[in-house]
Amino acid sequence: MSQSNPFPDPTKLPVHVAIIMDGNGRWALKRGLPRLAGHKAGTENLRRVIRACVEFGIQYLTIYAFSTENWGRPREEVNGLLRILEDVIDRELKELDDQGVRLRHIGRLEQLPSHLQAKVIEAVKLTQNNTRLTLNIAFNYGGRDEILQAVQHMLRDGVTAEQVTPETFSRYLYTVGTPDPDLIIRTSGELRISNFLIWQAAYSEWYVTPTYWPDFDKQEFQKALETYANRDRRYGKVSSAEYEGNHA
């Protein structure tokens, strides 16, 4: 039986959700499985959450799949994560395209194996005209790296000091064209930003849950969105109602 969208009012939904998909390793460890089994279960879950985004009407989803620091993990795990990216493109691209998902990559593509770079570029090209959901895959992504690259590009382009505004700067980031995240979800209970979207997250709302990523199902995702819908976002200001209340 098809269920109606629990979020009929799109103004209550975040436009852009970003997720730190943490806890795959501990999920596997708890079951006596190798860490890669956790990443595979995490990939299955990602498929469910992407479907939920399409169903609920989320417009942008950014997922942290591999950080610039993750190269320091054991070779087997690094190779496994590279293989997962390749498998996702090989096996899921058709369904993603059918769902109207536009794929984008954020991070340093040039450090990935050349055949994988080509696959990523092809997948991005194939889905470039889709409009239902933009899925930014942060793979070999680091927030500091992104900022340094932006500064280098601005200098190379001859941008003057006066021209360096938040708007200009944002145009030099990997996320150009994507609004800042409204909601950032971090699974597995850790309370840190881990070099993820450090410029873009300035006024994002956070939702942290102890649930490991492979278990963060549609219901939990819905709960995160409901929590967001009840947040009062002030962007460092005070609401006029609060001000008037204090000055009556």
Q: Which positions are annotated as active-site residues?
A: 22, 70
SS3 state of residue 153 = helix
CA–CA gap between residue 66 and residue 85 (Å, rounded): 10
CA–CA gap between residue 55 and residue 3 (Å, rounded): 10
Give which of 106, 118, 73 is closest to 198, Cα–Cα: 106
The answer to whether 115 and 85 have CB atoms below 8 angstroms apart is no
CB of 84 to ligand FPP, least distance (A): 5
The residue (of 69 and 226) whose beta carbon lies closer to ligand FPP is: 69
The residue (of 90 and 226) whose beta carbon lies closer to ligand FPP is: 90
The residue (of 16 and 39) whose beta carbon lies closer to ligand FPP is: 39
CA–CA gap between residue 207 and residue 1 (Å, rounded): 30
CA–CA gap between residue 124 and residue 135 (Å, rounded): 10
Q: Which residue is nearest to ligand FPP (CB)?
A: 25
The residue (of 76 and 244) whose beta carbon lies closer to ligand FPP is: 76
Give which of 65, 73, 26 is closest to 49, Cα–Cα: 65
Q: What's the start-to-end Cα distance of the chain, in Å? A: 53
CB of 109 to ligand FPP, least distance (A): 13
- Contacts for 182 with CB less than 8 Å, ≥ 6 apart: 14, 15, 16, 17, 204, 205, 228, 233
Interface residues with ligand FPP (CB under 6 A) are 21-26, 39, 42-43, 46, 65, 70, 84-85, 88, 137, 139, 188, 213
CB of 67 to ligand FPP, least distance (A): 7
The residue (of 47 and 171) whose beta carbon lies closer to ligand FPP is: 47
For the chain, what is the radius of gyration of the CA atoms? Answer: 19
CB of 184 to ligand FPP, least distance (A): 15
CB of 6 to ligand FPP, least distance (A): 25
